[in-house]
Amino acid sequence: MRAALAGDGRAYRALLEALTPRLRAIVARALARAGASNADLEDVVQETLLAIHLKRHTWDPSAPLAPWVQAIARNKTIDALRRRGRRIEVDVADFAEILPSAPDRDPTEGGDVERLLGELGERQRDIVRSIGVEERSVRETADRLGMSEGAVRVALHRGLKTLADLYRRSAT
């Protein structure tokens, strides 16, 4: 994390990848404790990753990283549970016969972020997708969209911030 805070993108990526399985475990435990199903697990993990990213300046480099990560994950799980509390849940088993069988979904696929991406401006959505899903570099994305690299960076950052805002607003 220290290298990541110094702006080392590769170290940062490695850190987030290493944190993700631990986040899954923390979130799964918190969901289980609340007696909730694991259906939203990956959504909560993704929301937590986004929060870790946007709030990483609140980690005190002289303190251990784990409690900080845990506090964010737990907080985001509670947000998600609150959000879900406002939705009516029906047991899918009751409708098993009339529902078409669900297509096999990648378990690391998040539904929330996809839905919220749809609410971003077209440009920001393009950029987040291009760099995330299509694994293009900032430069390739800039070339493809006819923008400067700096403008792509700014739009990416704004897009991620807006995503976090959308999560929050869907929680209230």
Partner 1 sequence: MKTDDLIAALSADAATLEPPLDRAALRFLAFGALVAALLFVTLLGPRHDWRLAIETVHYPLKFVPTALLAVGGVGALLRLARPDGRIGLWGAVLALAVAVLLAAVAVELAMVPSSDWLRLAIGHNAPHCLALIPFLSIAPLAAAVLAARHGASTRPRLTGLVAGLAAAGIGATLYAMNCDDDSPLFVVLWYPLGIAVVAGLGAWAGRRFLVW
* Orientation angle between helical segments 41-54 and 149-171, nearest 10 degrees: 130
In this structure, the dihedral spanned by the alpha carbons of residues 72, 73, 77 and 83, taken in order and rounded to 10 degrees, is 50
Using the 8-state DSSP alphabet, how is residue 95 labeled?
G
Instruction: Give min distance, CB of 58 to partner 1, in A.
Output: 5
C-alpha atoms less than 13 angstroms from C-alpha of 50 in its C-beta half-sphere: 27
Do the beta carbons of residue 115 and residue 166 sit within 8 Å? no
Q: Which residues bind partner 1 (CB under 8 A)?
A: 4-5, 7-10, 12-13, 16-17, 20, 42, 45-46, 49-51, 53, 55-60, 63, 67-68, 70-72, 74-75, 106, 108-110, 113-114, 117, 128-129, 131-133, 135, 137-138, 153, 156-157, 160, 164, 168, 172
Residue 51 vs 80, nearer CB to partner 1: 51
Nearest CB to partner 1, comparing residues 129 and 144: 129
Half-sphere exposure of 157 (CA within 13 A, CB side): 7
Q: How far is the CB of 92 from partner 1 (least distance, A)?
A: 23
| 40 versus 110: smaller Cβ distance to partner 1 | 110
- CB of 87: closest distance to partner 1 in angstroms? 19
| Cβ–Cβ under 8 Å, residues 61 and 2 | yes
Cα(166)–Cα(161) distance, integer angstroms:
9
Q: How many residues does the chain have?
A: 172
In angstroms, what is the minimal distance from the CB of 149 to partner 1? 11
Residue 100 vs 118, nearer CB to partner 1? 118
What 8-state DSSP symbol labels residue 134?
S
Shortest Å distance, C-beta 106 to partner 1: 6
Q: Which of 86, 97 has the CB closer to partner 1?
A: 86
